[in-house]
Structure 1
Amino acid sequence: MRFTQAMRSYILGDVNSHCANILALSSLLNIIGTGAFTSITVVFLLQSAQLSAHELGSGLALSGIVALGASSQAPRLIHRIGARRSLLAVTAISGAAAISYIAVRGTVSLVLIATVAIAAQRAGAVCRLVIISREFSNEQRVAIRAQLQVAANLGFGLGALIGAGALTLASIEAYNAVITFNMLTYAAAWILLRGLPGDTADGAQSRRLALHDRTFLLVSVCGAASAMHNAILPTAIPFWLAKHAGLPKPLAAVMLILNTTMVLLLQVRVARNVDSLSAARMTHRRVGLLLALACGMISLAEGSGSLAIGILLISGVVYTWAEMCQSSAAWRIAFDLIPPDSAPAYHATYSTITSLGTMIAPAVVVFVLEASGSWGWPILGLMFASACWLTGVVAGQ
């Protein structure tokens, strides 16, 4: 028992409130289901819905764009019924959308269902941030956000294992079982979320207030550009290994496992060190240097020898440390700059801008690596370093 408590404290930190536990556990359940479904999405839709690759890609891309506009209305919902009730509502909608994928039979139905699912998921993230802003002190908020990140990494890894099992069976029945499981995780999360504290008035101000806050908008744009490095492991590394290096292709999976393990063990502890806005600004500048270093190391990992493999794995450690620091600094800056009485509008604006960066990041990193050849990684490192430096500067205005 003492060992279990010690490990929980080491991984999740010292914040141990009823509200924090509900948020973390419900997020874990959601993301286990999401991870399982994400693993089978492409294969399921190609086989069951009989979509072409073009129809699938364009349908998902259109859904993501439309969902941005839909999820931006989250502040209105939160103001009308409160963050807790809003979170319960969008969780129920997410569950309904999850099971509806079984009925996809064409591009139109895919776009409709995926748009609802993505919009509800993003709105739920805004609701969680508003609840964190309302229920916890400024010193606790980053720690709680770090706990949710740990839950996300753990949940996605567990879900991917479930999805891998379904892919091994390679049957429509197995894929339908995963979709049903995903829906059930939302149902279980909804039951847990009912235990959250009751609602109070949440942010009556119009979203225009956030849109007229120039400092906040600049920080959001620079932060979104900084966070585009998140496309390195899932997109840039596999692409580079496939096109430009003689290294083993499974190294991409090894680096993802390394990243997940480090985040699980260290994210909350790293977040503790970013305890003020000034610390967050300084952390962003250091992160820029670490990202430039990691990208430079990757560019040196040519060939198929053990030295190249070692360099690539070490670059993965450097990158993951930079990722954890950047995330912690971004959370601190966001929570410090957002007025508590306008949290819904500000969090929704920040989330929308960040989502835009996330959407274009894979295309950007692939384009740079493809167009720049051997200079691709140094150019990416310079881009990320510049974005991080600008974020630190703008946040101090």
Structure 2
Amino acid sequence: MKNAEWIKRSEDAFIGTYNRFPAAMVRGSGCRLWDADGKEYLDFLAGIAVCSLGHCHPKVTEAICRQAGTLVHVSNLFHTPPQIELAELLVANSFADRVFMCNSGAEANEAAIKLARIHSSQGRYEIIALAGSFHGRTLATVAATGQPKFHQGFEPLPQGFIHAEFGDPQAIEKLISPRTCAILCEPLQGESGVRPLDPEYLRAIRSICDQHGLLLIFDEVQTGLGRTGTLFAHEQLGVTPDIMTLAKALGNGLPIGAMLTTDKIAASLTVGSHASTFGGNPVAAAAAVEVLTVLLSDGFLDSVQEKSRYFVTRLEALAEQYPHLAGGVRGAGLLLGLVLTEQGIEQGAAIVAQMFEQGALINFAGNRVLRFVPPLIVSKEEIDQLVGKLRSVFDQFS
């Protein structure tokens, strides 16, 4: 069956919540995808920063198949070995002592919100988030998200979320009240245009939390698990959170999320206070164990940093060649954005569409940058291919 037939069937069956590319993807391997018409794509989206080990990584695939033939689901009424192994790996390689498992980044953030509220004294329920943030699509995480476009039509939103101006610690201080229990932020904002939070800014946020007895929650759903060149982005920034959320790359495509915290804070969630039927199910957990094993293997994260430096150099050269379209590069590791000029912004969506025609997948984030989140296994040759295609497209808009 060809693309057109699959697309027609899709449009006849689904609620129209997605603006999809005109392709039905049927196969993936490494950094490549193929659609139903047989066209090949160089994938620098990775399922929106999910398939960090590439499509159908052999070790992850083997773990999924092995576990699917052994035990798929029993719920969290029972202990399961893959889930336990995953929790031990997360604890051993992070600041945390305890883990709660769920199915997505939004659910992980919901768990963090509930934990922050129940851990804090009565009457303290308000969470300060940042303008430009993105924390999920559930009602609570939409309310936490600092982008009004995601709020429209869903009002009234749940109470208890306020937003501070990005980059200004004093703006946060002014919002603190006797109701405040936590500050929630991403170490690097991905959806609003690949905006890193300055280390000094994050250290100031940590200091504010300490001074006022607030919890610091890091949403590392997109930045965690090697994406920025270390296992967690905050490791590079000299700031440790009280609670951290993970998802996306954790299962390399299988839905799984996690909330991590310390013994002291975790004690506030007791039996029956929170749950997830499918959270950390054996198949997803088995995949995640393999993902972490690969990420933690000798030299893997060093290679991400090396490829990041190479990619940044290539993108900076492109920006110099086309100054009317691009003004520079920002981000960390292999979460990078090519910042567009005002002229480039006008063409941003069209550039992405032309790259798709050229057989390369990227996206336009925050109406400001071309975002690149390739699998962490991407090669320098594939980076060269991507930049070559982008140069060809830029020529069309010059």
TM-score, normalization by structure 2: 0.27
Q: Which structure shows the bigger proportion of residues in strand conformation? A: 2
Greater relative contact order: 1 or 2 (C-alpha under 8 angstroms, separation 6 or more)?
Answer: 1
TM-score, normalization by structure 1: 0.27
